[in-house]
Amino acid sequence: MPELAEVEYVARQMRMSVLGARIAQITVAWPRTISVPDVPTFIHLLSGQVIEAIERRAKVLLIMLSIDLVLTVHRRMSGNVELLEAGAPPPRYERVRLELDDGRAIAYSDPRKFGRMALYAGVDLPAALADFGPEPLDPEFTVAVLARILASTPRAVKALLLDQHAIAGLGNIYADESLHAAGIHPLLPANSLSSTQIAALHAAIIAVLQLGIAHGGTTFGRHRGFYGEVGHNLEHLRVYQRTGEPCRTCGTPIVRIVVAQRGTHLCPNCQPNTHS
């Protein structure tokens, strides 16, 4: 769920509502949520910081603070970042809470406890984010860039799309949706795709992500927006979690296979296991 589209949507919401707010008090209910630095230092450094900007890289939310500090949040499988109005009850599974000096609070909840927060000095941020591939929605992500990534390996194309070192921000949902929209079978070797297929995949990745953002993300399970609301992209998905249901393009039942240890959904008619 929290893939690029979900993180981007929340980042945009945060820009509308918490820029300029000061963090007054920090509570850490599950210490392992904080990967770096240690919890006492984390709390000490964060206290009194003003939220100056909100950005995103891959699936990581970046909260830029005063005094050249950056708070990063990776929600992994089940994390949510939500705004609590003054007096609002905490969400279930709250792991970290940032109380703002205006009475509101930013709550991080995460039932599975996989998500992580970290605090970096600005100078250390580039190194922390260095291993990500290009941003799919950045103008620099051209067909030629995608072609070069695909040509570099014989791995299954779906496995490559999930690899954050290759391309940043795609997860299981949007990888499946991108491949369906492009008419490409997930098991095809990445370096076997035709130039026509590469161009189709490039367009599909961008379209699928932009649609996901426009719909407020895909709530399959527990993704929530910054104001606690569900995203509506689930009803627009064409293959993900639709095993056995008719393809919205041709009516053929959607099939589920396993690729790179991940459930993978495809239309065997729209996504033939061949090139051209």
Partner DNA sequence: CTATAAACCTGCTGGC
Partner DNA sequence: TGCCAGCAGGTTTATA
Q: Which is nearer to DNA, 191 or 252 (CB)?
A: 191
Among 218, 254, 266, 267, interactor with DNA by CB under 7 A: 218
Annotation marks residue 158 as catalytic: no
Q: Is the C-alpha dihedral spanning 268, 259, 162, 189 positive or negative?
A: negative
Cβ of residue 129: shortest distance to DNA, in angstroms?
10
Among 113, 232, 236, 248, interactor with DNA by CB under 7 A: 113
Annotation marks residue 134 as catalytic: no
Q: What residues between 176 and 215 interact with DNA by CB under 7 A?
A: none
162 binds DNA (CB under 7 A): yes
Give the Cα separation of 139 and 136 in Å (integer): 8
Query: Which residue among the candidates 6, 8, 56, 59 is catalytic per the annotation?
Result: 59
- Nearest CA to 145 out of 189, 196, 198 is that of 198
Among 122, 221, 246, 251, interactor with DNA by CB under 7 A: 221
56 binds DNA (CB under 7 A): no
Q: How many CB atoms lie within 10 A of CB 105?
A: 22
Contacts of 125 (CB under 8 A, 6+ apart): 62, 70, 72
Cβ of residue 114: shortest distance to DNA, in angstroms?
5
Annotation marks residue 113 as catalytic: no
Tell me the three state secondary structure of residue 57. strand
Contacts of 86 (CB under 8 A, 6+ apart): 102, 103, 104
Q: Which is nearer to DNA, 29 or 121 (CB)?
A: 29
Q: Write out the residues near DNA by the rule CB under 7 A.
A: 1-3, 32, 58-59, 74, 76-78, 93, 111-114, 152-156, 159, 162, 164, 171-173, 218-223, 260-263
